């Protein structure tokens, strides 16, 4: 009888352990993945990225392949490399998709990760390459305000080369641009200007807010660096 009781207790402990692991993975906090995002490593952040590297975005609409080019915007590419290397863009939504303009993403689904990055500004880069269709740039609110959000240009957006101090592209879509152009855009501009999500609520509540109120949004399921050139 005692042996059977111990067996039952052991089984319960295994079940609880598995449940904890599963919960962590559901919230993007699998073992070994959270630390570089929750407590960013300043020494690693200061390292230069490769001259170029390829990132594959597995999205809910299909794959998008991106080539980052450090010569275009060194500071921005260094940040993108760190974030992509540590899985920051996994399970992030395209929360602002404007037809024939941009598809914006990059607010983490984990509020704790957002808190860790919201004040980590990227030093400014000059605009060395135009915001042509398929290029990717960091979103900003003016000089000295880039952090983690990115957008894909869905058309030639020459005005973004100078508007608000300019948005320097860091990368370009090399395949899957048709996928980017098919992302759900029915919600339009974000609130209060439009019916789309409020960025501050994504920041504070994470993916739970988007899944509840904007269920048709597309997301990046996984973003991984697949090749580098130095």
Q: Which CATH class for the 36-229 domain? A: mainly beta
- Rounded to two decimals, the pTM is 0.85
d(CA 157, CA 164): 13
Q: What digits encode the pLDDT tens for the residues 14-61? A: 343 333 333 333 444 433 346 999 999 999 999 999 999 999 999 999
Six token digits for residue 218: 């597309």
Structural domain boundaries of the chain?
A: 1-31, 36-229
Range with the poorest average pLDDT among 5-9, 92-96, 219-223:
5-9
Closest CA to 107 of 225, 198, 224: 198
Given pLDDT bands bounded at 50, 70 and 90, which one contains residue 118? very high
User: What pLDDT, on the 0 to 100 scale, is given for residue 21?
Assistant: 35
d(CA 212, CA 209): 5
* The dihedral sign for the CA sequence 99, 60, 227, 47: positive
Q: How far is CA 1 from CA 5, 6, 7, 14, 64, in A?
A: 6, 9, 10, 20, 58
For 10-55, what is the HEC assignment?
HHHHHHHHHHHHHHHHHCCCCCCCCHHHHCCCHHHHCCCCCCEEEE
CB-based contact 94:105 (threshold 8 Å) = yes
Given pLDDT bands bounded at 50, 70 and 90, which one contains residue 142? very high
User: What pLDDT, on the 0 to 100 scale, is given for residue 34?
Assistant: 66
Closest CA to 223 of 49, 55, 97: 55
61's CB contacts (< 8 A; 6+ apart) are: 179, 182, 183, 218
CB-based contact 31:17 (threshold 8 Å) = no
Taking residues 114-142, report their average pLDDT: 97
Range with the poorest average pLDDT among 9-13, 79-83, 108-112, 115-119:
9-13
Range with the poorest average pLDDT among 34-43, 49-58, 68-77, 120-129:
34-43
């Amino acid at each position: 009888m005692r042996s059977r009781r111990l067996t039952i207790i052991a089984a319960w402990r295994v079940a609880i352990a598995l449940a904890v692991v599963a919960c962590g993975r559901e919230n993007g906090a699998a073992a070994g993945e959270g630390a570089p995002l929750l407590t960013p490593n300043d020494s690693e952040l200061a390292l230069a990225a490769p001259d170029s590297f390829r990132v594959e975005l597995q999205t809910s609409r299909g794959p998008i392949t991106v080539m980052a080019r450090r010569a275009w915007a060194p500071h921005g590419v260094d940040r993108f490399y760190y974030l992509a290397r540590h899985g920051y863009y996994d399970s992030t939504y395209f929360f602002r998709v404007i037809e024939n303009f941009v598809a914006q993403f990059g607010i983490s689904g984990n509020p704790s990760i957002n808190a860790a990055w919201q004040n980590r500004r990227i030093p400014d880069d000059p605009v060395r390459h135009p915001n042509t269709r398929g290029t990717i740039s960091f979103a900003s609110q003016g000089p000295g305000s880039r952090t983690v959000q990115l957008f894909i240009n869905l058309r030639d957006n020459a005005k973004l080369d100078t508007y608000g101090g300019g948005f320097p592209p860091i990368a370009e879509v090399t395949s899957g641009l048709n996928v980017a152009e098919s992302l759900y855009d029915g919600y339009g501009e974000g609130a209060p200007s439009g019916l789309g999500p409020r960025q501050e609520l994504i920041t504070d509540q994470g993916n739970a807010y988007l899944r509840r109120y904007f269920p048709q949004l597309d997301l990046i399921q996984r973003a991984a660096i697949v090749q580098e050139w130095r």
